[in-house]
Structure 1
Amino acid sequence: MVASDLDRTLIYSAPALGLTMPDAEAPRLLCVETYEHKPLSYMTETAAGLLAELAGRTTFVPTTTRTAEQYRRIHLPGPAPEFAICANGGRLLVHGEPDPDWQRTVAERLASQCAPLDEVRAHLVRTADPAWLLKERVAEDLFAYLVVERPLLPGTWVRDLTGWAGERGWTVSLQGRKIYAVPGPLTKSAAVAEVARRTGASVVLAAGDSLLDADLLLAADRGWRPGHGELADSGWHAPHVTALDERGVAAGEEITRAFLRAAADPGDGRTPAPGAAAVGG
């Protein structure tokens, strides 16, 4: 089973492509998402071919912080995934539709383990400065995020928010221009464990670039992170997670290539992760 983050892991917006080579040497790109009638996200054509092959060989599970609506804008190569994880684990899509049993399970966990969304959202709105705040949003009635002018964001604001949120059972992640406030129990790894249980998967491979992907990578049998993103910037590492040198869309291509190699021989060089048995079901 392969569970991978999407944005800045497998797919990339134009500003995130990281095309540092001369234009004549740039890879051919495939658009995999449009928004408001304009192209938005891309993979290299090579990565697209590798992903289609991977999806035909394994249970491939897109695992994203996007809402279900945002996820449905993406058209990945290969067969449509039977399972997809959205809203950072808050929504489990089965054949494209939200699974009501998982939704109830998530709601019960959040109600019993962390402060309510309304309290956190009110704090975000109250403390954010209109000088750098562009948008404030709630995703799937599960978590909140801000879109900000990153250059104007005070250096201590995210740190202060992280401390405040942590006391209330929430986590904070800064990804590009977005600041996410997410309940602690709302994790990608919990949803991946549920899919592994349903499918009987004995090995889980994973990839991700942000702090919201750390639990996913830790719970997997093997993992990969690109050379960009929160995890790379913070120096995050784990024995069974490969830190790639590649950045931008080249990292997405290398991740799909690594998935295919590992799927062909999952025991090759594998270092079991703490908690991997639980994820594998």
Structure 2
Amino acid sequence: MNVNTDLNANCLIASDLDRTLIYSAAALHLTMPDPEAPRLLCLETHKHKPLSYVTETAAGLLTALARSAVFVPTTTRTREQYGRIRLPGPAPKYAICANGGHLLVDGVSDPDWQRTVTTRIAGECAPLDEVRRHLRATADPAWVLKERVAEKLFVYLVVERGLLPDGWTEELAAWAEPRGWTVSLQGRKIYAVPKPLTKSAAVRELVRRTGAETVLAAGDSLLDADLLLAADHAFRPSHGELAETGWTAAQVTAVPQSGVMAGEEILRRLTALAARPSPTMPSRMAATVPAPGPAPGTADTPVTT
């Protein structure tokens, strides 16, 4: 597919959404006195109830950022779940859903990218049904609240975190590793995801299409680690899976804030970097963009340090 010349594509910003830019009420982590708390804007409702928020300042920053760069929401959410979010500012030209399984162009999943992803998964990973059987055989209904399959690509459990046995997630990860799957615990959800299914692979495809000269990124979980490593500069909050494990990298900045204020600070720093002149050297991602189509053996595996 040809590079889209209609966009100002010098800077591409790929950011995770939940607990990076947008926050549920339980994840807001507002520690200041109530009269000093920021005004909040609700971006998502589900079953007629408010679900996700940003600060009003963050909404303004995101609006300006989306008008000055290629802003790409990059989420593990399914397309349906992503569709519930009403981000401020212009509608993104591109979005990445299902942890890289779907690349949306003007809201429609790109069929070429879908074929690339499903071919790689089929060639490199144990079948989804095998993983689901193992989960059912080893997980205890006493602490499993729900099992969900996302886009026929990966599976996750919603669990009662306080009842989750110590070491169970690590045992699942050890079982999944040789079968080409990775495991991530995020809040009350345990994800099992095929290794080739990564956010960074989808962003590299967008770099190829847009010709972006700089890639910035943000995220909070192990499923975001590959994306942060591949970007020219990236940010993570002081909460979440990456913070809890002490994960870092040379090009990754950990902002000192946590909760919804971290989302605001990340947007502030992304805005400052996006305003800088483009570097004379090509982006880290541009230098490693693969040819379109399956690429066996080159899966972008999330770091689990």
Q: TM-score, normalised by structure 2?
A: 0.89
- Identify the match of residue 257 of structure 1 among 258, 268, 282: 268
CA contact (8 A) 1:218 1:274 kept: no
What residue number does 2:287 align with?
Answer: 277
Q: Note the alpha carbon deviations across 1:150-206, whole angstroms, 9 max, x for none.
A: 000001100000000001010000000000000000000000001111111111000
What residue number does 2:93 align with?
Answer: 82
- Identify the match of residue 120 of structure 2 among 76, 96, 109: 109
Give the Å deviation of 1:124.
0.8
- Structure 1: stretches of 5+ with no match in the other structure: none
What residue number does 2:144 align with?
Answer: 133
Counterpart of 1:221, as a letter, is D
- Identify the match of residue 167 of structure 2 among 146, 149, 156: 156
1:208 and 2:231 equivalent? no
Q: TM-score, normalised by structure 1?
A: 0.96
Report the Cα distance in structure 2 between the residues aligned to 1:210 and 1:235, rounded to whole angstroms: 11
1:89-238 alignment runs, 5 A limit: 89-238=100-249
The two structures, once aligned, show a CA RMSD in angstroms of 1.8
What residue number does 1:60 align with?
Answer: 71
What residue number does 1:28 align with?
Answer: 39
Once superposed, which parts of structure 1, at least 4 consecutive aligned residues long, lie more than 6 Å away?
270-274
Give the Å deviation of 1:277.
2.4
CA contact (8 A) 1:220 1:279 kept: no
Report the Cα distance in structure 1 between the residues aligned to 2:207 and 2:190, rounded to whole angstroms: 30
1:43 and 2:21 equivalent? no
Report the Cα distance in structure 1 between the residues aligned to 2:138 and 2:65, rounded to whole angstroms: 45
Give the Å deviation of 1:274.
6.2
CA contact (8 A) 2:100 2:201 kept: yes
- Structure 2: stretches of 5+ with no match in the other structure: 1-11, 292-305
CA contact (8 A) 1:220 1:276 kept: no
Counterpart of 1:277, as a letter, is A
Q: Residue 93 of structure 1: SS of its match in structure 2? A: strand
Give the Å deviation of 1:217.
0.3
What residue number does 1:5 align with?
Answer: 16
Report the Cα distance in structure 2 between the residues aligned to 1:276 and 1:214, rounded to whole angstroms: 18
Q: Residue 14 of structure 2: SS of its match in structure 1? A: strand
Report the Cα distance in structure 2 between the residues aligned to 1:158 and 1:92, rounded to whole angstroms: 29
Q: 1:115 to 1:165 in 2, by over 3 A?
A: same
Report the Cα distance in structure 1 between the residues aligned to 2:281 and 2:268, rounded to whole angstroms: 19
Q: Percent of aligned positions with the same letter in both sequences?
A: 71
Counterpart of 2:183, as a letter, is V
Counterpart of 1:120, as a letter, is V
Report the Cα distance in structure 2 between the residues aligned to 1:74 and 1:60, rounded to whole angstroms: 15
Give the Å deviation of 1:119.
0.3
Q: Note the alpha carbon deviations across 1:23-76, whole angstroms, 9 max, x for none.
A: 111000000000000100000000000000000000000000000000000000
1:245 and 2:256 equivalent? yes
Q: Residue 259 of structure 1: SS of its match in structure 2? A: helix
Report the Cα distance in structure 2 between the residues aligned to 1:96 and 1:151, rounded to whole angstroms: 38
Q: 1:38 to 1:51 in 2, by over 3 A?
A: same
Aligned residues: 280
CA contact (8 A) 1:2 1:205 kept: yes
Q: Note the alpha carbon deviations across 1:236-266, whole angstroms, 9 max, x for none.
A: 0000100111000000000100110000015
Q: Residue 167 of structure 1: SS of its match in structure 2? A: helix
